[in-house]
Amino acid sequence: MITLLESIAATIIGGIFILTMITSIINIQAVGVNTNQQILLVEISEDVVSVIESYLSLVGAGVADSAAIITTRDTLFSYSYADSVGGSPHIINMTQENISGAKQLSVYEDYEDGNVTPILGPFELSDYGIQFTYYDVDDNANPADSLVRYVQMIMEFEYDTFRDDIDKRFIRHRIQIWKYFKNLYL
C-alpha cells in the first residue's frame, strides 16, 4: 500500500513539475516575442524620425522669415520652404489625426491650387500622440509664429504585446527631437 501511495505522490509531483516547465517555456516564448517587437518598434520609429527630421531641416529654406512658419499648435506644425531662392513655396503640414479612434502622425503638402497630397504616414501613435513645443531665440516657449526658431517634438509609438489575456500592456517607445531651424538664421 505504501508503494502505491508513493507512486501516486511521485506521479502528482512529476505532473506539477512538467506543468511548471511547460508554463515557463510559454512565458519565455512570450518574452522573446515581446522583445523582438520592441526591437522592431525602435527600428521603425527611428526610421520615421529620420525622415521627419529631413523634412524639418527644410523649414524656411528659400523663403522670407515672415513666410517660413505658418501655424504652430500643440499637435500641428505648418511651414513653408522653396526648392530655390525665389522659387514657388511648398507648404508642409505635420499633424496628429484621430483616425478610427487612434492617434496618427501624418505629413501633407498643400498646393496653391488647394490640393493636399499626403507625403508620409499615417504612423500610428500611442495615447500620448505627438506634442510640439516651440521656442524663440531667447528660449521662451510658445512664442508668436514669426518668432519661432526651433521646436521640440515628442512622439510616442506603441505596439501590442504578444498575449492579450495575461497582463495586457503596450510596448511603447517615446522619441524626443530638438530641431533648430538653421535656414531662419541665414
CA-nearest of 23, 30, 33, 84 to 58 is: 84
Q: Is 99 in contact with 110 (CB distance < 8 Å)?
A: no
Range of the domain at 129: 9-184
Identify the pLDDT of residue 164: 61
In a domain, 74, yes or no: yes
Q: In what order do the strands lie in the sheet with 69-72?
A: 69-72, 76-82, 89-99, 102-110, 116-124
In a domain, 46, yes or no: yes
Identify the pLDDT of residue 152: 93
In a domain, 17, yes or no: yes
In a domain, 68, yes or no: yes
Q: Work out how many domains the chain is built from and give that number.
A: 1
- Mean pLDDT per segment of 10 residues, for the chain of length 186 residues? 85 92 87 84 89 89 84 90 81 89 89 83 87 90 85 88 66 89 80
In a domain, 2, yes or no: no
Identify the pLDDT of residue 29: 84
Beta carbons within 10 angstroms of residue 57's beta carbon: 15
In a domain, 1, yes or no: no
Identify the pLDDT of residue 16: 93
In a domain, 88, yes or no: yes
Identify the pLDDT of residue 132: 92
Identify the pLDDT of residue 153: 94
In a domain, 4, yes or no: no
Identify the pLDDT of residue 2: 83
Identify the pLDDT of residue 123: 87
